[in-house]
Amino acid sequence: MTTVRTFRGSQSRWAPYAVLAAVAGAAGYLALVDPNRPGHYPTCPFYGLTGYYCPGCGSLRMIHALTHGHVAEAFGRNALTFVTLPFLAYLWVRWAVAVRRGRPLRAGVLRPWVIIIFSVVATVFWVVRNLPAGHALAP
């Protein structure tokens, strides 16, 4: 017999909407304060220490471009974050629906193979964007 694990973390009816409000607020701030201009945001610690881009480098500029409707530019700033956003939106919807129905979120949404594949893709992205041939993936 197989048991289904569930996440019982925050079952507050308003938790998904609080997260949505925080994400919308952060996106709104990024829309107003241009990360392309120096001095507004700190430098990535990994980039500052090593001179290499991490998988998240360019994400602020990607969100800024996306909030202004520049989809192609957003993809060019950080392709990994760009393609991850729909999956994150899907997870949020699953969570909001589960909370609304009064049910816990099933752990099967993030199966181990999904996490492993994402980890491998993120690592390959991390390495390739720092190679001369992967310059197009740099922010």
pLDDT, residue 50, reads: 95
What is the residue whose two structure tokens read 């909407």? 17
Q: What percent of the chain has pLDDT over 90?
A: 63
Q: What integer best gives the mean pLDDT of the chain?
A: 89
pLDDT, residue 3, reads: 56
pLDDT, residue 20, reads: 96
pLDDT, residue 4, reads: 54
pLDDT-derived band of residue 87, with 50, 70 and 90 as boundaries?
A: very high
Task: Select the more confidently predicted residue: 139 or 25.
Answer: 25
CA 71 to chain centre: 16
* Residue 82 near residue 73 (C-beta atoms within 8 A): no
pLDDT-derived band of residue 81, with 50, 70 and 90 as boundaries?
A: very high
* pLDDT tens sequence across 12-63: 888 999 999 999 999 999 999 999 998 889 989 999 999 999 999 999 999 9
Give a three-class secondary structure readout of 4-58: CCEECCCCCCCHHHHHHHHHHHHHHHHHHCCCCCCCCCCCCHHHHHHCCCCCCCC
Q: At what angle do helices 79-100 and 15-32 cross, to 10 degrees?
A: 150
Considering Cα of 75, then 77, then 80, then 82, what sign does the dihedral take? negative
Neighbours of 122 (CB within 10 A): 15
Task: Select the more confidently predicted residue: 68 or 91.
Answer: 68
